Chain A
Amino acid sequence: MNSDTVLRAQDVYKSYHKDRIEVPVLRGINFDVTTGLVTALVGRSGSGKSTLMHLLATLDQPDRGEIQFQGKRIDNASRSRRDRYRNHDIGIIFQFYHLLPELSAIENVLAPTMIGRSAWNFFRHRKEAKKRAEAMLDRVGLLHRASHKPAEMSGGEMQRAAIARALMTDPTLLLADEPTGNLDTETGLDILKLLTELNQDDGLTILMITHDDSIAESADCCHRMQDGQLQQGIPELLIA
C-alpha cells in the first residue's frame, strides 16, 4: 500500500437480496483514496457508488473484500472501533444534509463531539468545544445562523452546517455523498468552492461521490463506476 493512500477498497463485493433474488451491486472494486487530494467517484444512478461510500464509511459491510484505513482493515474491526472511526477519523456529508431537526446549527456541529466524549469530559471541555464549533461555523460562513434550527435554514445553509459538523472532530478524510445533489447550481458551486478551499487551505482529503461530470472535473482524481465496477484503466488525474 502506498504511504499516501489513506483509504483503500480491495476486491470489494456487495449484493442485496430482494425477494430471495441476489442483486449484485459491487463486483470486485479496487479503489484508493490518496491523502491530500480531492477524489471524485462518478457514476450514474444505480452504479453502486453510494453503496461503496457506505462500505468505506463502515455503515455497511462488504460480502467479500477489505476496506483499509491507513493500512489497517476497518471493515471487520470491532463495533466500537468502527464507531470511533466514523466519529473521529472521517467526516461524512450527505445529499440530504441529515441534520438533527431538534438541534440548532451549533448543537448539530457539536453532536460528533458529544457522541465521542463522555458527559463529564464534554462538560469539562465544553467551552473549547463550543469555541471550535463556532470556528467551524465561521469557516463555512454560517456563524450568524448558529442558533437557528435546520427548519429555519436554506438548503445551502444546511449543507454548510453539515460540512461544519463533519469537520468538528478534525477528521483525516471527508466523505461527501452527492454534496450538491439537492442544491441549485449556484449554491452547489458555492459548496464545491468551500470543499475545494478546505482541501487547498487545510489539506483535507476529500472523497466526493457525484453523478455530475462537471463537478467531478473539479476533483484532483476521478474514478468512474459502472454496473458495480470501476472502469478499467489508470485513474484519471485531473491535476494540471
Chain B
Amino acid sequence: MHTDVPQSIESKERYMYRWLLCFRYLRTRYIALASIISVTLGVATLIVVNSVMAGFSAEMHERLHGLASDILIECHASGGMPDPEGHLKEIMKVCGEDVVGSSASVHVPAMLGIDFNGQLITRHVNFVGLDPATYDDVSHFGRYLLHPKNQSQVNFDLREDGFAPDREQFPSSGWGYRRARVAYERALAEEQARIDALRAPASSITNEDAGPSLAIGPPQIFEESNKEEITEFDPAVEQFPGIILGISTCSARMRDEENNVRDHYYCRPGDDVRMMFPNASDNAKVVNQKFTVVDMYESGMSEYDSTFAFCRLDQLQEFRGMIDPSSQVRSVTTIQLKLAAGADLNAVRDALRRRFPPNVYAYNIQTWRDMQGPLLAAVKLETTILNILLFLIIAVAGFGILATFFMIVVEKTRDIGTLKALGASGGGVMSIFLSYGLLLGFVGSGAGLIGGLLFVDHINEVATLIEKITGQEVFDPTVYYFTEIPTIIHPFTLVWVMAGAVAIAIFASVLPALRAARMHPVKALRFE
C-alpha cells in the first residue's frame, strides 16, 4: 500500500464532482424545474418587453425626428424673422461645417374649416408654409404622404389619382374625383333650379329667397376675400392653392358594427377646405383663404397627424403679408437645419444661441430632442420602471430558487456528509450548490432567451392569436397607427438580462450553499 500523497492535489481546485452532481440533480430533482420555469418566464418577459419598448421607442424617435429637423430656430415675432438668407449666412458662419441641409418655413396657428354634408367641421391646426424644394432636406416629410409621387417629391398640385394605393378603403381622390364631384354638384344645382322654377312660376320667388341650398358646394358661411375672383373660378379644371392635411385633422377612425376598423374621411384630395389664420401685421387680422386638399400626411404620431397642415411657403407668405413691399424680401418664422451624421446637436444649438442671444433676438433655438424632451423622457422612464418591475419577477424566481435549494440541501444532508467523509472540502460542497444555481440560471435564462426571441419574432401572430382568444385587440388600430408591432432586439439587452438572471440565481443559491458547506459531517451522516 502506498502512502505518498500527491502534493499537487492539495493546491488544485478539486471540484470535478460538482458538475457531475449538478447535472444529475438537474435531471433528477424536478422541483428545480419550477425555479427554471420562473427564471425562463422572467427572462422571456424582459426580452419581449424590452424589444417592444425599444421598437416603439425607435419608431417614435424615427417619426419624431423625421418630422422635426435636427435644429429648429423659431422666431416668436408675429412678423417672423426678415431676411432668412442673411440669417442662414450667419448660421453657416457659426456651424457651417456641421450643416448639411437647411429650409425656411412659416409656422402659424390656424383654424381649419371642412364642409362635410352641409356641416362645418373646424379644427385647430398648426399651419406650416414649407419650401417643397428644401423641406425634405431637413426632415422626412415626404415619406409620410399618401401619394407615391409626392413621397419622392413634395408637390402642391393636385394629382389625377393614385392616392394610397395600398389602402383598399381609401376613397377615390384627385382630379378625377374633383371633376366628378363638381359635375354632380352642378347637375344637382341645375335640377334644383329647374324644380324651383316649376314650383313657383307665377310667384316671383327668387333663388335667394328659397333658403339655403342643399347642394354640396363651396360653404356659404365664410366671407369671401375676393368674390369676383371666386365667381370666375372653375373648380372642374382649377384648384385653389394646394394644402396637405394631417390625416387625423380630416378623418375619424372607428369601428363598424362588425368591429372592423374603418376610417371616415371628412374630406379627401380634390376637396376644398378653408383656413383662417392671422396675418403678419402688428394689427393682426384673420385671413380667410380657400385651399384644395392635394394630399394627406400620416406619420403615425397622433400629435402631428391631428394638428398639422402644410402649404407652399411662398403662398403663405403672400397670404400673411410677409413680403416687404419695398424690398420684396420675404420673412419666415422658422429656419430648420439638418446636421451631418455624428454632429453634436447640443453644441451646435449652444453655438447658435450664443450668436442669437435671447436677450436680443426673440428666437427659440432647440434641438429636436429638446422639443420632444418630455415625451422621450416619459418613454425612457416607462422602460426603466418596466425593467425594474420585471426584474423583480426574476428576483421572486430567485427566492423560489432559495427555497428550493434549502429543501434540496435538507434532502441531501446525508450525501453532503458522505462527500465530506470522502474528502470533499466545505468549499467543494458549497461549489456544488453554487454551480447548481449557475446551471439553473443558465438553463432558465437560456430557455427564456430562446422563448423570448421566438415570441418577439412571431409577436404579430401571437397578438392575432390573443385577439382571437380574448376578442380584444392587443394594439388597437384606432389608437396606434402601426400596422405591425415594432420590435428591436439589442444584443446588449440580451446580455444584461441573461447576466442579471444568472447572477440572481447564483445569489439565491449562496445561503443554501453556505449552509451545506458548514454542515458538520458527523451530524450530516447521522441525519434521518
Residue numbers of A with Cβ under 8 A of B are 54, 57, 59-60, 70, 79-81, 83-89, 92, 94, 98-103, 107, 111-112, 114-119, 121-123, 165, 170-172, 202-205
Contacts and interface: CB of A to CB of B under 8 A. Distances in A.
Interface of B: 1-3, 5, 9-10, 12-17, 19-21, 24-25, 28, 414-415, 417-426, 428, 520-522, 525
B17 A88 contact: no
A204 B1 contact: yes
Contacts of A171: 1
A117 B415 contact: no
B1 A170 contact: yes
A100 B524 CA distance: 13
28 contacts: A59-B421, A60-B520, A60-B521, A84-B9, A88-B5, A88-B9, A88-B423, A92-B421, A100-B21, A100-B415, A101-B415, A102-B25, A103-B21, A103-B24, A111-B17, A112-B423, A114-B17, A115-B17, A115-B422, A115-B423, A116-B14, A116-B423, A117-B12, A118-B12, A122-B16, A171-B1, A172-B2, A202-B1
Contacts of A112: 422-423
Nearest to B1: A172
A170 B16 CA distance: 19
A94 B525 contact: yes
B19 A119 contact: yes
Contacts of A87: 422-424
B521 A59 contact: yes
Contact of A117 (B9, B20, B419, B421): B9
B23 to A, nearest CB: 9
A90 to B, nearest CB: 9
A60 B17 CA distance: 23
Contacts of B421: 57, 59, 86, 92, 94, 98
B3 A81 contact: no
A148 B415 CA distance: 18
Contacts of A203: 1
Given A59-B521, A59-B522, A115-B419, A89 B20 contact: no
Nearest to A205: B1
Given A83-B423, A202-B1, 18 more contacts: A59-B525, A83-B424, A83-B425, A87-B422, A89-B3, A100-B21, A100-B418, A116-B423, A117-B9, A118-B13, A119-B13, A119-B16, A121-B12, A170-B1, A172-B1, A172-B2, A204-B1, A205-B1
Nearest to B425: A83
Given A98-B417, A101-B415, A103-B24, A79 B425 contact: yes
Given A59-B521, A98-B414, A98-B418, A80 B10 contact: yes
Contacts of A59: 420-421, 521-522, 525
Contact of A114 (B3, B16, B420, B520): B16
A96 to B, nearest CB: 8
Contacts of B25: 102
B24 A102 contact: yes
Nearest to A88: B5
Contact of A111 (B1, B3, B422, B426): B422
Contacts of A202: 1
B413 to A, nearest CB: 11
A101 to B, nearest CB: 7
Given A115-B422, A172-B1, A102 B10 contact: no
A119 to B, nearest CB: 4
Given A98-B417, A116-B423, A119-B13, A103 B2 contact: no
Contacts of B414: 98
A117 B14 contact: yes
Nearest to B29: A102
B3 A70 contact: yes
A157 B3 CA distance: 28
Contact of A98 (B28, B425, B525): B525
Contacts of A83: 423-425
A14 to B, nearest CB: 11
Choose among B3, B19, B420, B520 the residue with the greatest number of A CB atoms under 10 Å from its CB: B3
Choose among A111, A202, A205 the residue with the greatest number of B CB atoms under 10 Å from its CB: A111
B16 to A, nearest CB: 4
A54 B421 CA distance: 9
B423 A117 contact: no
A154 B103 CA distance: 91
Contacts of A170: 1-2
A117 B9 CA distance: 6
Contacts of B520: 60
A116 B522 contact: no
Nearest to B2: A170
A165 B421 CA distance: 12
B426 A79 contact: yes
Contacts of A117: 9, 12, 14, 16
Contacts of B12: 117-118, 121
Nearest to B521: A59
B407 to A, nearest CB: 16
Nearest to B8: A121
Contacts of B9: 84, 88, 116-118, 121
A54 B524 CA distance: 12
B469 to A, nearest CB: 42
B425 A80 contact: yes
A165 B17 CA distance: 14
A171 B12 CA distance: 20
Contacts of B417: 98
A118 B14 contact: yes
Contact of B15 (A60, A84, A119): A119
Nearest to A6: B3
A107 B1 CA distance: 23
A84 B28 CA distance: 30
A89 B424 contact: no
Choose among B25, B28, B422 the residue with the greatest number of A CB atoms under 10 Å from its CB: B422
Contacts of A84: 5, 9-10, 423
Contacts of B21: 100, 102-103
B294 to A, nearest CB: 75
10 closest A-B pairs (Cβ-Cβ)?
A87-B423, A102-B24, A114-B17, A118-B12, A119-B16, A98-B418, A86-B423, A114-B16, A122-B16, A59-B521
A57 B420 CA distance: 11
Contact of B422 (A54, A79, A86, A205): A86
A117 B7 CA distance: 11
A119 B20 CA distance: 11
Choose among B421, B423, B426 the residue with the greatest number of A CB atoms under 10 Å from its CB: B423
Contacts of B521: 59-60
B78 to A, nearest CB: 80
B16 A118 contact: yes
Nearest to B23: A102
Nearest to B11: A80
B20 A103 contact: yes
